[in-house]
Structure 1
Amino acid sequence: MSIAISENSDFLKVHVQRFAKQQNLSNTKFEYSTATKDGDNYLGILIRVEIEGMKNGGIEKFNLIFKRAPRDTKLREVFGVRHLYIHEIKFYEEKLPIFVSMLSEHNLSINDIPRYYGGSAVPENEVLILEDLKCYGASMNKSVILDYSHASLAIQHLGRFHAYSFALRDQKPAVFENLKLIKEPFYNNSRTFLEAYDILCDVAIKAIESEGPKYIDRLREFKKGIPKLLDFVINGRNAEPYAVLNHGDYWSNNILFSYNDVTDTPRLL
């Protein structure tokens, strides 16, 4: 998704100044560039920002990703963009610290989630500031479809993330019960999806109308049941006793890998 340079610059100046104040930086300078190609992330504008400033008599540098919410009114309405950003900010500020605290009690840590430097839920200017993992050699896989070595690694790390919920359920059951109150932010807040599914079902019915009533009737029944089905699948309680806090958008563009120079074996970051 493209955005005007001047608009990016004005937006970043505000947040860089706030970041510099939080980090006690002076004489701050910054450079920025687009972090993804158009179409890679349609619900976010990813901007790579390098910040440099003085602190305690020395120069300190930060490599960051600013994830900015799109401002297009229709896009925000259709996909419930504001709900998604508030949900993601709450994950980093409220949910992730719970896992970090629990693991620290056992001398364990989380090393495959980028460091979070803050966010803002100001309407139409929502933003998250994250560590840029590119400085560790991380990048997206070139193919949208992951091969076995990439996919198996991604599944291992997803399993580790799910394991935090099982550990929390065992170690701090009351805290885990509070986590289960989270509402799914994407499908919960968009009537547009139901309208889209209606249209898709109508197209499918039209495509098979010559095949006879058997298949048409089944599709019509499926269409009528979509709202109830959607309500069921986004209610985490229906996954018990295996309910966990999940990623929510675990696809190849949201996974970064680094590589061993000798074997070219991927390592998830």
Structure 2
Amino acid sequence: MSGISEEYLCAVLGKIAVANHITDWSYNQLKFTSIAQNYFGILIPVVLSGTRNGKEVKFELVLKLAPTNELYRVSGAVTVMFAREVFVYSVVLKKYQEMQEHLSLDAQYVIPRCYYFQKDYCKEVIALQDMCGDSYKPYTHEMFLDLDHTLVSLKSLAKLHALSFILQNQNPQLYEEISKTCVPLTEDTNKRYMDIMRDRLDKALKKFEGTTYTPLLHKLRQNCAELFNAAVNSVNKTCICHGDIWKENILYKYEDNKPVSACMIDYQTTRICSPAFDTMYLIISSTSTDLRNQNFYQLLDTYRRTFDETLKKFGLESEKVYSRQMFENDLKVVSPACLVTANTALWLSNGLQEEGHVRSKVVWNTDDEKEKAVNRYKCIVKAMIDDLTSYGYLSVSEIL
């Protein structure tokens, strides 16, 4: 079980039971072969049952545990990511939940409940509500989201961003404190990840060698750090952003087989950035070029409408807080950084990252399989570049 023993698991659950005043507790979990392992830790779905205040209770949980083996932590990324996510759940999302209590359920930003957390080195734990118990499911049957899923996702993202602006208006001191922890992505704050993105651009340059895309990719590689600085320092407004919002970090709830609600998860990279970055990254990383070409402006309109409506519920006017024109201008500023980030994710998700601590989950066994994966990766990257160029958000001459 990747170093997580049943004895250790019982000890963790015992602490969760104490924190939630549960006695006479027991638990059920999935078989070890069903437990998800990723670079930032181990996910274990658990049902914790017991007695509280004389009544029988049952909690459906997902435990996020840090690897206890320090070999997985050599880069320091795990420690930083866990600390960031604990902070987001215990401070940021907790405050958002309080702020939106007066709203109807369909107007609220969906937040999994956090039952317990521990921050001790190599013993980090976050115990979260298992949203699957509330009928939320991951989108796993296609590489890209369809229109309905994309629209629901953008509505949820708009609520997240609006809550940040509302918090800044209501409690600027707390917002400032949050900003000191959820720092922007720059060369100074996360050089290792910046190096990874430059490495993936080097790999892209090799795959696109001799094509019309080479000058653009070279410019992105040359100015990588500056592009991410621009996404914070050259935009009209910033807020508390998710930082890694694509389809793999979203769960969906359905009625009559149609998505009606989205729940965003995995807040390890939450940071101060332009809301335009989250928005554009979600669109280019999680939709096909056909969907974008047919619905791009509808996607932006949907995001803005929900953003405006959420602010209005708190007595704020979007045109004064963060206007549509500001948003449009910022989309152009952040698009190069979004493309760099998407290239990094696509290289990994297409099974092409074969070395390093973070490797592709998919492993190709033959040269033919790998060639097909490379061609698929190139087609997706080409489409992203072509689409961003056609929308006026990307050009070689305007990249710094």
TM-score range, shorter chain: 0.7 to 0.9
Cα gap change, 1:142/1:186 in structure 2, threshold over 3 Å: closer, same or farther? Answer: farther
Q: RMSD in angstroms over aligned alpha carbons?
A: 3.3
- Write the deviation string for residues 177-214 of structure 1: whole angstroms up to 9, x where unpaired: 44333314797654333443454454555567768xx9
Q: Which residue of 1 aligns with 2:20?
A: 23
3-state SS of 2:8 partner: helix
Q: Which residue of 2 aligns with 1:137?
A: 135
Q: Which residue of 2 aligns with 1:84?
A: 81
Return the alpha-carbon distance in structure 2 between the equivalents of residues 82 and 111 of structure 1: 27
- 5+ residue gaps in structure 2? 264-400
Cα gap change, 1:42/1:34 in structure 2, threshold over 3 Å: closer, same or farther? Answer: farther
Q: Which residue of 2 aligns with 1:33?
A: 30
Q: Which amino acid letter does the alignment assign opposite residue 196 of structure 1?
A: I
Return the alpha-carbon distance in structure 2 between the equivalents of residues 238 and 36 of structure 1: 47
Return the alpha-carbon distance in structure 2 between the equivalents of residues 89 and 229 of structure 1: 28
Cα gap change, 1:255/1:187 in structure 2, threshold over 3 Å: closer, same or farther? Answer: farther
Asked whether the equivalents of residues 84 and 185 of structure 1 are also in contact (C-alpha less than 8 Å), the reply is no
3-state SS of 1:239 partner: coil
Return the alpha-carbon distance in structure 2 between the equivalents of residues 228 and 60 of structure 1: 52
1:79 Cα deviation (Å)? 6.6
Equivalent in 97, 100, 103 of residue 100 of structure 2: 103
Q: Which residue of 2 aligns with 1:122?
A: 120
1:250 Cα deviation (Å)? 1.3
3-state SS of 1:180 partner: helix
Asked whether the equivalents of residues 40 and 253 of structure 1 are also in contact (C-alpha less than 8 Å), the reply is no
1:155 Cα deviation (Å)? 0.5
- 5+ residue gaps in structure 1? none
Cα gap change, 1:43/1:138 in structure 2, threshold over 3 Å: closer, same or farther? Answer: same
How is 1:42-191 mapped onto 2 (pairs within 5 angstroms)? Answer: 42-71=39-68, 73=70, 75-78=72-75, 80-104=77-101, 110=108, 112-143=110-141, 144-181=143-180, 182-184=182-184, 189-191=189-191
Return the alpha-carbon distance in structure 2 between the equivalents of residues 256 and 177 of structure 1: 30
1:267 aligns with 2:260: yes
> More displaced, 72-81 or 52-61?
72-81
Q: Which residue of 2 aligns with 1:249?
A: 244
Relative to the length of structure 2, the TM-score reads 0.56
Q: Which residue of 2 aligns with 1:239?
A: 235
- Write the deviation string for residues 40-95 of structure 1: whole angstroms up to 9, x where unpaired: 84423111011111233332111111011234545434471111110111111112
More helix by proportion, 1 or 2?
Answer: 2
3-state SS of 1:169 partner: helix
Q: Which residue of 1 aligns with 2:193?
A: 193
Cα gap change, 1:162/1:73 in structure 2, threshold over 3 Å: closer, same or farther? Answer: same
Return the alpha-carbon distance in structure 1 between the equivalents of residues 252 and 126 of structure 2: 21
Cα gap change, 1:23/1:39 in structure 2, threshold over 3 Å: closer, same or farther? Answer: closer
Relative to the length of structure 1, the TM-score reads 0.79
3-state SS of 2:30 partner: strand
3-state SS of 1:145 partner: coil
Cα gap change, 1:149/1:162 in structure 2, threshold over 3 Å: closer, same or farther? Answer: same
Cα gap change, 1:118/1:142 in structure 2, threshold over 3 Å: closer, same or farther? Answer: same
Asked whether the equivalents of residues 35 and 46 of structure 1 are also in contact (C-alpha less than 8 Å), the reply is no
Number of residue pairs the alignment of both structures matches: 258
1:22 Cα deviation (Å)? 1.7
Asked whether the equivalents of residues 83 and 186 of structure 1 are also in contact (C-alpha less than 8 Å), the reply is no
Sequence identity percentage:
24
